[in-house]
Structure 1
Amino acid sequence: MPQQLPDVTHRVVPGPAGRIHLVEQGEGPLVLLVHGFPEFWYSWRHQLPVLAAAGYRAVAVDVRGYGRSSRPEAVEAYRMPDLVEDGVAVVRALGERRAVIVGHDWGANIAAGSALLRPDVFRAVGLLSVPYAPRGGPRPSDMFAAMGGEEEFYVSRFQQPGRAEAEIEPDVRGWLAGFYAALSGDTKPAPGAPDPHFAAPGGVLRDRFPAGVRPDWLGEDELDVYTAEFERTGLTGALNRYRNMDRDWEDLADHDGAPITQPSLFVGGALDASTTWMADAIEAFPVTLPGLVSSHVLDGCGHWIQQERPEETGRLLTDWLGAIGDAAP
């Protein structure tokens, strides 16, 4: 099975919520890799050996609620400060004092939050797909509820416990395949087609997923791995991250508008809604990411950057890590 990668070590370390599962490869400065939704450590399978070969200790975690890490029952156990402390616990458990943190999708938000809240531990931050946008503006649930008019934004659909699970869990494989295709550069709906980030009144998100197509990066074996993991764990732990956005907004009130000053990297996909919807956040990087070393928007790429463009992602990461060196403040 592709989950059994050669030359990697699986470990379970203690964390604030119980256990944190991680996969590591290589020796050298620690680089912590944080996945997004709906993925787990496996989304970094291409970058682990590249970073290891470049002289880094690459560690991909299962975020709280995913994979073999603990899945607390309480919804409020998935708020951002708790996830930041999970990352700190990993660094400490590995015998390190500091680390570079790189995240994709929700992992990018977690990486940004980690750099913001614990600059003593996280000396540099890489963001894939989701640009940094400082805390501010209206309450997130109010903002998302206002999007789409009569249609319902996917983040709003994910808020009520059990609702999204009822859509996804009867056919995890089919839903994941459609969701991955909907946000991939080579299979996303054509311009002008109904947006798969929104559900029509009385409909579900899956109604707008592409049918009968599979992204180039997603073979049967890869889909088997993702399906097996989410059939085993269910989706509640993963979805609970979305259910804490208002709590994050409250928890981070003291950091309203705060920049991230550590050396940083951004990589987005030109065909990713996260890049286009948040174009203003990217334009604000000189203020919000004053330590930005490099920023890249990849033509023809969708949301799943490190899987759609594995070689390019590996090169961008190693180039950036080489540029910042071991002594980043």
Structure 2
Amino acid sequence: MTTTSVLPDIGIDLREGYADVGDQSLHYVEAGDGPLLVLLHGFPEFWFGWRKQIAPLAEAGFRVVAPDTRGYNLSSKPEGFEAYGVDLLAADIRDLIGGLGAGSAHLVGHDWGGSIAWTVAMNHPEVVERLAILNAAHPRRLSEGLHHPNQLRKSWYFFFFAVPGLPEDVVHLRDWHFFRHFLSEAQPPYTDEEIERYVEAWSQPGASSGMINYYRASVRQSQKEAVAKLRPLAAETLVIWGERDSYLGPDLAEPSRDDVPNLDRVERLPEASHWVHHDEAERVNELLIDFFAQPGKGS
């Protein structure tokens, strides 16, 4: 189903639609034509987090689709943390790719979108051509990292969000100050107009619980069982990592070659924060275009 509404000017005409994924619906925007390239946002963003990537990637010859993942903005927001397990989130993206009429796609994920992208590539390798990850640790690396005090301190919010009820009350205070804080390390800072678009997305009915439920589902999952399910990725993979990340240590950037045997490389950007696609958008765009334009599977 395709709809038309007032969308922000990001330098290219956008098309807007909804895709049925199982019993849920994902809202998305798209631009361009060519091989399908899906962009998965992180917390607390929505499709608009890719505003600096959509036009350059579309102009480079890709059909770029940026969905709001389950629980965010205009996508479905089922109740209960059980509906936000990463395997369900990954199945949404598999179904989205199929619903868009493609057998497979290039996949880019940042933060939670990166966690989903890792899982899509593991659980549904047939739908992933090439994979690019921005500041999102491979699940094994993240599990290992959470055993170390330094990373536990950085990841304190994981456990705060796991508390029933309280986080929803806190994040609304002072005009969404808590969520605004997560975006505050980006350079240049997000503009007031950009922040207001985030506030509009956060204010959608059920969105704050949907976003927080990602963390609740993750914390309640047995890490031993989650790690036991991991399998090597088939997809060629590029990792881009902003090293001034306040939430994930730089040691988490490098996945094991046993887990990612087709790792192209880890590209570290020393001056970029967790919001690497904002801080160094031009460099990130160059890296993505070069990586996805290489001849290979599906070319």
Per the normalisation by structure 1, the TM-score is 0.80
The Cα offsets for residues 137-166 of structure 1, whole Å up to 9 and x where unpaired, read as: 68x7x989x944xx9911110101322111
* 1:295 alignment partner, one of 263, 266, 272: 266
* 2:29 alignment partner, one of 16, 23, 33: 23
Q: 1:175 to 1:136 in 2, by over 3 A?
A: closer
Per the normalisation by structure 2, the TM-score is 0.87
Is residue 2:204 matched to residue 1:232? yes
| Contact 2:17–2:29 (8 Å) recurs in 1 | yes
* 2:158 alignment partner, one of 133, 147, 155: 155
Q: 1:52 to 1:283 in 2, by over 3 A?
A: closer
Matching residue of 1:266: 239
* 1:314 alignment partner, one of 282, 285, 298: 285
* 2:174 alignment partner, one of 171, 174, 190: 171
Q: How much does 1:108 deviate?
A: 0.5
**For 2:118, what is the secondary structure of its paired residue?**
helix
Report the Cα distance in structure 2 between the residues aligned to 1:68 and 1:14, rounded to whole angstroms: 13
Report the Cα distance in structure 1 between the residues aligned to 2:21 and 2:102, rounded to whole angstroms: 15
**For 2:39, what is the secondary structure of its paired residue?**
strand
- The one-letter code matched in structure 1 to 2:168 is E
Structure with the greater alpha carbon radius of gyration: 1
Matching residue of 1:201: none
Report the Cα distance in structure 1 between the residues aligned to 2:213 and 2:49, rounded to whole angstroms: 20
| Contact 1:130–1:274 (8 Å) recurs in 2 | no
Report the Cα distance in structure 2 between the residues aligned to 1:118 and 1:173, rounded to whole angstroms: 36
| Contact 2:36–2:63 (8 Å) recurs in 1 | yes
Q: 1:253 to 1:299 in 2, by over 3 A?
A: closer
Is residue 2:216 matched to residue 1:216? no
* 2:14 alignment partner, one of 8, 31, 39: 8
Report the Cα distance in structure 2 between the residues aligned to 1:252 and 1:78, rounded to whole angstroms: 14
**For 2:253, what is the secondary structure of its paired residue?**
helix
Q: How much does 1:278 deviate?
A: 5.1
Q: How much does 1:100 deviate?
A: 1.3
The Cα offsets for residues 18-37 of structure 1, whole Å up to 9 and x where unpaired, read as: 21101111111111110000
Q: How much does 1:47 deviate?
A: 0.8
Report the Cα distance in structure 1 between the residues aligned to 2:16 and 2:9, rounded to whole angstroms: 10
- The one-letter code matched in structure 1 to 2:174 is D
Percent identical residues: 28
Unaligned 5+ segments in structure 2 are: 1-5
Is residue 2:162 matched to residue 1:122? no
**For 1:232, what is the secondary structure of its paired residue?**
coil
**For 1:134, what is the secondary structure of its paired residue?**
helix
**For 2:168, what is the secondary structure of its paired residue?**
helix
| Contact 2:37–2:65 (8 Å) recurs in 1 | yes
Report the Cα distance in structure 2 between the residues aligned to 1:122 and 1:265, rounded to whole angstroms: 13
Report the Cα distance in structure 2 between the residues aligned to 1:102 and 1:313, rounded to whole angstroms: 11
- The one-letter code matched in structure 1 to 2:236 is P
Report the Cα distance in structure 2 between the residues aligned to 1:286 and 1:223, rounded to whole angstroms: 38
Residue range with higher mean Cα deviation, 62-71 or 129-138:
129-138
Q: 1:319 to 1:91 in 2, by over 3 A?
A: same
The Cα offsets for residues 57-96 of structure 1, whole Å up to 9 and x where unpaired, read as: 1100100000110000121000011111100111111111
**For 1:24, what is the secondary structure of its paired residue?**
strand
Report the Cα distance in structure 1 between the residues aligned to 2:162 and 2:82, rounded to whole angstroms: 12
- The one-letter code matched in structure 2 to 1:21 is H
- The one-letter code matched in structure 2 to 1:229 is A
Q: 1:163 to 1:288 in 2, by over 3 A?
A: same
Q: 1:152 to 1:18 in 2, by over 3 A?
A: closer
- The one-letter code matched in structure 1 to 2:197 is V
Matching residue of 2:3: none
**For 1:268, what is the secondary structure of its paired residue?**
strand
Unaligned 5+ segments in structure 1 are: 185-214
Matching residue of 2:276: 305
The Cα offsets for residues 94-131 of structure 1, whole Å up to 9 and x where unpaired, read as: 11111111100011110000000000111221100113
**For 1:120, what is the secondary structure of its paired residue?**
helix
